[in-house]
A and B are shown apart, each in its own frame.
Chain A
């Protein structure tokens, strides 16, 4: 247990761990604009990770992926999300704050359990390859579970959309550490898939907001309005 991984691998692991912490941050955060900010920070971290891996494994393609992903996920998606939510930055959309089904402390504890499950799943695969840092993969798995947790414990469409987008971040993290040499074209295609998801989610959010005048999903329990 004593041997430490190298600097690059350590840095990649630390960035992955920070992304997981930001995921927990989104879980605790009450206001949607703070969640969007955390999502942007998480996306920025994944670009940093792409740069670190590009420098480590000498893959110039990844610099382009990092720049593209930063442009899209750090700037475009948060901007589109804010526009779609329709409120000026100073005003909070109704229905998001207080949509916790659990208290923040309990939600964190529950999601620690989910994260443990993710860690445990990947830990039992017993991966040992210099190309695939097992820890970053395990963290990605934990992030997937925590973002599902975020979508489950929050009863508002905005948090659920952000949980879905950060799920994509988790998958990107796994893809980045596992298949860093993926062709640029494919990476770009995945990124544009995300943009599509943002637009679809945006339409759903707007439709729901127009009908219920709130972003809460609590009133969706009846079949007829």
Chain B
């Protein structure tokens, strides 16, 4: 177990863990949710089968849609797959490409992916896809300040805006974990993640009612491998956000601090376990709350904003 894994390989493994783990995570959440409702639920591996099935299907584009419609899904997936290079997925030490971008860089990539998907939905001319993308952009505009304030908290805590630095700060002492600013920012981030991944109380994930849809509606007109890419993209986004929450904010433990093979493998297992734990929490929330009416989502966003702003206040004005 003492064999050292070369750095480029670790970097590749970060991307591969996210890429291959994401559908499994979706499967686990669907399974847990079904179990909590007393159903047997789909297999955990079902998302993989779904993606494989979609890849074999024919791809169609609405008449009048330009090249952008078909280019958007690969661009979105490429953006999502770049983010694992920037955040601590498996290691406590920064990998060479990890300093290409800071936490804002990751945020820009997430926004870029969501922008191209929304723009492609506008290309179709289909009312529901357009409604979805318009809603998605509206609500992401009101959750964006929350994300910014979470980033400010990170910056005030560490003096940088590198995700690696925050993870190291949180690991450094128990006093850092129990700080109000850290807990408030983590809670705000969790609320944003529920919104971004389209979970209750913002959006139902499994519903078929178009009127309540936000993000889900955007991919209505895509089909075949392109639809598979979009679905995979939203799974990747979920896994990446869970990774940021666990490896940067809530539980940055279990990451490899050396290049040893054993440590890296352990880090992969730990990451999957942590993501599953967050997934179970999300499934419990999904089953215990009702979906908010569309115009009540501002109240949800204001609650998340409150947490994030108080996090900054306690640090900047309160000195805690």
Contacts and interface: CB of A to CB of B under 8 A. Distances in A.
Interface string B282-320: 000000000000000011011101110110011101111
Interface centre among B169, B174, B303, B307 (most CB of A within 10 A): B303
B126 interface: no
B156 A1 contact: yes
A116 B317 contact: yes
Interface string A113-129: 00110011011000000
Interface string B127-151: 0000000000000000000000000
B292 to A, nearest CB: 12
A28 B180 contact: no
A45 to B, nearest CB: 13
Interface in B146-174: 156-159, 169, 173-174
A123 B318 contact: yes
The DSSP consensus for interface residues of chain A is helix
Interface in A37-76: none
Given A10-B178, A116-B313, A5 B320 contact: yes
Interface residues of A, number: 33
Interface in A96-112: 104-105, 108-109, 112
Interface string B5-34: 000000000000000000000000000000
Q: Which of B176, B179, B305, B319 has the most CB of A within 10 A?
A: B319
Interface of B is mostly: helix
A11 to B, nearest CB: 6
Interface centre among A5, A16, A109, by most B CB within 10 Å?
A5
A6 B175 CA distance: 5
A119 B306 contact: no
A181 interface: no
B184 interface: yes
B175 A21 contact: no
B206 to A, nearest CB: 28
A123 B319 contact: yes
A104 B299 CA distance: 7
Contacts of B174: 7
Nearest to A127: B319
Nearest to B315: A1
A14 interface: yes
A151 interface: no
A116 B310 CA distance: 8
Interface of B: 156-159, 169, 173-176, 178-180, 183-184, 298-299, 301-303, 305-307, 309-310, 313-315, 317-320
Q: What are the 6 A-B residue pairs with the smallest beta carbon separation, nearest first?
A: A135-B320, A4-B175, A10-B178, A119-B317, A135-B318, A123-B317
Given A109-B305, A116-B313, 7 more contacts: A5-B175, A7-B174, A21-B306, A108-B303, A115-B313, A120-B317, A138-B318
